[in-house]
Amino acid sequence: MNAPSSAVLVLGGARSGKSAFAERLVAETGLSRHYIATGRAWDDEMRERIAKHRSDRGEGWRTHEEPLALVERLEALDDPGNVILVDCLTLWVTNLMMEELDMAGEFARLADFIPRAKAKLVLVSNEVGLGIVPDNRMAREFRDHAGRLHQSIAAAAAEVYFVAAGLPLKMKG
């Protein structure tokens, strides 16, 4: 693997403050801000969550909705004048699973891209491996996929944070 890039991975549980923390990191760069939204609005509740995220983020962002082709979108935006916030990797995992795509291949492509990125990357993801063992196969597979993805992205990233109760704990870098 190449040397770690300037990429930052931000992990945390639901409503931990990880997205707000990631947005602050992006704002501090002074670069052109791009937001890659991986979520799909499957129902009214998800549509409301997406609208709230967009409203909370405020002005000054270029939003790109990309549920599947994450690496291709990152490559298209890869410029040293850009900072790209990806929110979130676990929704991307869900989308890949639902489409029955090659999880290991997609994860490897993302991990391989990170060290060669010219843009500053901030990647947000839900830590889902700290709770009880899920009671069904699909949920266990999701947890396992997310855990493997987090390990590969953390290895490729220069910095890794874990956010709980709005407080970031720097784990790497």
Q: Which residues are catalytic?
A: 53
Q: What Å distances lie between residue 159 and 123, 129, 155, 163, 169, CA to CA?
A: 10, 20, 9, 13, 11
Q: What single string gives the DSSP state of each residue in the chain?
A: -PPP-S-EEEEE-TTSSHHHHHHHHHHHH-SEEEEEE-----SHHHHHHHHHHHHHH-SSEEEEE-SS-HHHHHHHH--TTEEEEEE-HHHHHHHHHHTT--HHHHHHHHHHHGGG-SSEEEEEEE--SSSPPPSSHHHHHHHHHHHHHHHHHHHH-SEEEEEETTEEEEEE-
